[in-house]
Structure 1
């Protein structure tokens, strides 16, 4: 009997390398290794924001020096499969839409699986999807098949975006219960910075690979896929989850949620969270904040050019009165403006999320909406008075709060619903982002076209748009004010929570320890190397962006 027992025990299946059980941290692990692991993934998938750098070269993939136009009556099916004429930029742009549709859908659908499987497995799947999508897109460019690009980067890559985006959220919040906002701000800052690194890198690669017979895009896709796969695998395999009950030394859990603290000590199940008014109020808060910000991002460059026109060059001329050479000059200035906005978008993710640890999440969003409302309403005034500095300052602050909204919302959800399912709840909440991606641009484009069609000068065409976006923020302010602690009837019982943790293969409760205090020398060295790995390319991207933004002040 004894030998049979041993044999049976020996035949038990051991957890795989990518399993959640195998990623539980040991006593010498430093929690400061987790943020750079998250950045390794977010800096790669953040290139989704910079894909527009490929549109112009791809629109000349066959003609090389100029586009080979398709027949005027060519339909969508021909565009997807043609090998005899070049794609239109509008057709290529659908890939950008697919990115964020599938980001939101995959995060919502597989967020629950991520909580059970753990961040390591989710990160590896994200790496294969995102980088595999780039490889498929490279084949689409080489074979000149648009449907392969839509499938590769748009659909499969979009799934990688969603899993990669939410993979570190729950883990970071559990490692940093004392600094939830700062921790998620560091990771989500990387998503905003991905294009800042990837776009200039892609531009240099396309220049390097370009030949008389190729614009260099498919080669660039393959190169980026190899680079990104290496970084994302380093990040995914570096993820560790804390043992159940772990906390940093000296940390005191927040008291039970009140109207002031708004931080729960209980857990709400994923299947219960979306049944609460708090979920939908925060959904609306994120949607409205992002809708206004996306509206600004989409029109930043033309807005600056059309509002100020020749005043950007010291000339008292409207935009329509400028010559081609002068329009080229102000386009370069507008590009610098866009670069400056990207820096504030990235910096705001870390700044505001970190500040929310002190102010509280509800107060931070109140600041976003109240200050944002004032700045949106004041923007037309700064344009009419010709103050470029005030105009730029308004929109830099606005974009910092746009980025801050993304980075603060995971901590807001953890405060409301607990940390057990926060990654999955966050995944479902990202459907607000997909909605905002449609709502913001539609509002901006519709109102601008409406104004121009009714004879409004280009310099004043954005006024009504700013006021509408300000109204969106006012509505967001009201939704945020209505957020209250979750009712006790939605909390999980101790037995339900224990069953969920057992199913998720979480380790037993451990005693409190000071993360980093017991870390070994090897752990400290690994932290230095990992932080260097992500900070060097990030610093390079910042430097490139600062150089572009400097044109604005010449």
Structure 2
């Protein structure tokens, strides 16, 4: 079909993955886009749950008992075929995930804006699922370097592209509810492990034999399942025509003090503004505090409360025997699961609330409430009130997740929507930075306190005050975020030129373009059911594990 005949038929020219081919036609329901985004985010969110594989993989050679090589270094571990890997060797995959996520999002964010979310989603599916399949080969032939390359590097690139693929699209489909829209999708990344970890555990138990721990088979099955879901999500993406807006909605009135702009900043200029770096610092400090707690949630609860968790308040952690420590470890696992639920729920709750109170005020809430909770957490611990302590950290983790979900809308408010996906990709370098700062602060201060002879139940006190201080810095950075000066915005002519390829066909009426209607019709309900049923299953499994905490 020629370009002319395609134009007459109303079908854009270009390949099936091209941006021009996914411009929505009249009658399209915008509520089909969030489940497409969730389908991708729920799959790549399994990165948070990869630790479920570490212990089985640490005895992949011995199967029933680890084959330990005393003189093995990290380099020799990469190539050994006769020695079992250490958990610390495997843990580098987790580090690679988030280093590559931030790097890939920053490097290819601009390409994503040009290529469109469908092409980016397909590439993300190939990288993430292909990387897991390569990791399966690494397990089969027992080559750790192949696992690092597959899951860590190639999979990490898929994480970055998959994570930012829906951001710009959702913000453009929901200009009236930017926070809620991004919250729905990014909620999926927090919930991926909630579904994937128990699924992986079930599969490993099913595939386990006398000669295999069942991990490579599990990798392959999950890669296939994830590929189907991610491709479905990628092909579910649609972008609105340039200038589209929901029926009855008008952009907020503009003034020099407005925190929501109707203008657009080019990708090449965003990082040159002080607002970009202030928001970068806001995200870094909020995430640093939360991620440090996530990494130490289980040992923190066990060491602070010790025997109180099993009705023996007279026993500290060091006085417990092996069976008692096993019992409190199960309870601490419930605590980690509960934090995961609040991490997920916070992404939707706080991002949606930001539509009502504004993004800057939402971050004020994160920092002010967080400072109070971190400062009071040691008091709750010394009182022996595990319920109060758990409640405090559930709220803290909800704000950790809320910070991730609110930041894309914050960027759209300040920099406009034209390049928000790519700008968000560059901002995610804050995540990689926080992934270093948070765990280092918590882990090294804990070690220093233990070496100084501080009792285990008190080693986290100083850490909590440090984290409160970090949030105070974040509060100051947020306070300094102001609307951009006029010089940073693109001209109307430049914006029109960029948007020309997504302009609607002349036969489609102006205004609402008749797109984005329908609400939760049958098609939308079916799409939501596809992603909603696995989420509900994951919540049910998590709640069962959490019950032991109470």
- Which category of TM-score, normalised to the shorter sequence, fits these structures? over 0.9
Mapping for residues 323-342 of structure 1, pairs under 5 Å: 323-342=321-340
The equivalent residue for 2:459 is 461
Are 1:314 and 2:277 an aligned pair? no
Pairing 1:302–2:299 present: yes
1:355 aligned onto 2:364: no
Q: Provide the residue aligned with 2:496 in structure 1.
A: 498
User: For 2:62, what is the secondary structure of its paired residue?
Assistant: coil
- Is 1:530 matched up with 2:530? no
1:469-497 deviations in whole A, cap 9, x for unaligned? Answer: 00000000000000000111001011211
Question: Are the structure 2 counterparts of residues 345 and 518 from structure 1 closer, same or farther at C-alpha, using a change threshold of 3 Å?
Answer: closer
Partner residue of 1:250? 248
- 2:203–2:218 Cα contact (<8 Å) kept: yes
Q: In the alignment, which of 284, 289, 294 is matched to residue 287 of structure 1? A: 284
Task: Note the C-alpha offset of 1:14.
Answer: 3.9
Change (3 A) 1:214 1:32: same
Out of 391, 401, 404, the residue aligned to residue 403 of structure 1 is 401
SS where residue 381 of structure 2 aligns? Answer: helix
Q: In the aligned structure 2, how far is the partner of 1:172 from the partner of 1:536?
A: 22
Asked whether the 8 Å contact 2:26–2:513 carries over to 1, the reply is no
TM-score for both structures, normalised by structure 1: 0.95
Give the superposition deviation at 1:76: 2.5
Secondary structure of 1:381's aligned partner:
helix
2:272 to 258, 272, 275: 275
Distance 1:257 1:183, change over 3 A: farther
- Counterparts of 1:120-159 in structure 2, within 5 Å, are 120-159=118-157
Q: What aligned pairs does 1:154-169 form with structure 2 within 5 A after superposition?
A: 154-169=152-167
1:106 CA drift (Å): 0.4
Q: Deviations over 1:398-452 (max 9, x none)?
A: 0000000000000000000000000000000000000000010001111001101
Per-residue CA distance 1:285-307 (angstroms, 9 max, x = gap): 00000000001101111111111
- Tell me which residue corresponds to 1:26: 25
Paired residues for 1:104-119 under 5 Å = 104-119=102-117
Q: 1:545 to 1:265 in 2, by over 3 A?
A: same
- Alpha-carbon distance, 1:501 to partner: 2.2
Q: C-alpha separation between the residues in 1 aligned to 2:180 and 2:88? A: 38
TM-score under structure 2 normalisation?
0.96
Match of 1:456, SS state, is coil
Taking the TM superposition and a 5 Å limit, the aligned residue runs for 1:218-229 are 218-229=216-227
Q: Report if the CA contact (8 A) 1:135-1:152 is conserved.
A: yes
CA distance in 1, matches of 2:504, 2:163: 25
Q: Distance in 2 between matches of 1:370 and 1:257?
A: 28
- Residue deviations 1:326-354 (CA, integer Å, cap 9, x gap): 11111111111111000000000000000
Gap regions ≥5 residues in structure 1:
none
Q: Which moved more, 1:50-59 or 1:524-533?
A: 524-533
Q: Distance in 1 between matches of 2:261 and 2:504?
A: 23
Aligned to 1:50: 49
The 8 Å contact of residues 257 and 485 in structure 1, kept in 2 or not, is answered as no
Of 540, 544, 547, the match for 2:544: 547
Q: Is the 8 Å Cα contact of residues 242 and 502 (structure 2) preserved in structure 1?
A: no
C-alpha distance in structure 2 between counterparts of 1:147 and 1:254, whole Å = 53
- Give the 3 Å change call, closer, same or farther, for CA 301–420 of structure 1 in structure 2: same
Residue 187 (structure 1) aligns with:
185
Whether contact under 8 Å (1:55, 1:89) holds in the other structure is yes
CA separation of 1:319 and 1:517: change in aligned 2, threshold 3 A: closer
Output the CA distance in 2 between the equivalents of 1:393 and 1:26.
47
CA RMSD of aligned residues (A): 1.9
1:237-273: per-residue Cα shift (whole Å, max 9, x none)?
00000001100011010122543x4001110000100
CA contact 2:244–2:513 (8 Å) conserved in 1: no
What is the CA distance between 1:516 and its match in structure 2? Answer: 6.7
User: Equivalent residue for 2:34?
Assistant: 35
Give the superposition deviation at 1:507.
Answer: 4.0
**Cα distance in 2 for residues equivalent to 1:126 and 1:6:** 33
Structure 1 position 322, deviation (Å): 1.0
Whole-Å separation in 2 of the counterparts to 1:496 and 1:508: 20
Contact preservation (8 Å) 2:30, 2:517: no
Residues 1:367 and 1:517: Cα distance change in structure 2 (over 3 Å): closer
Please list every run of 5 or more consecutive structure 2 residues that lacks an aligned counterpart in the other structure.
none
Cα separation, 2, equivalents of 1:95 and 1:392? 30
Question: Cα–Cα, structure 1 residues 538 and 167, in superposed 2: closer, same or farther, change >3 Å?
Answer: same
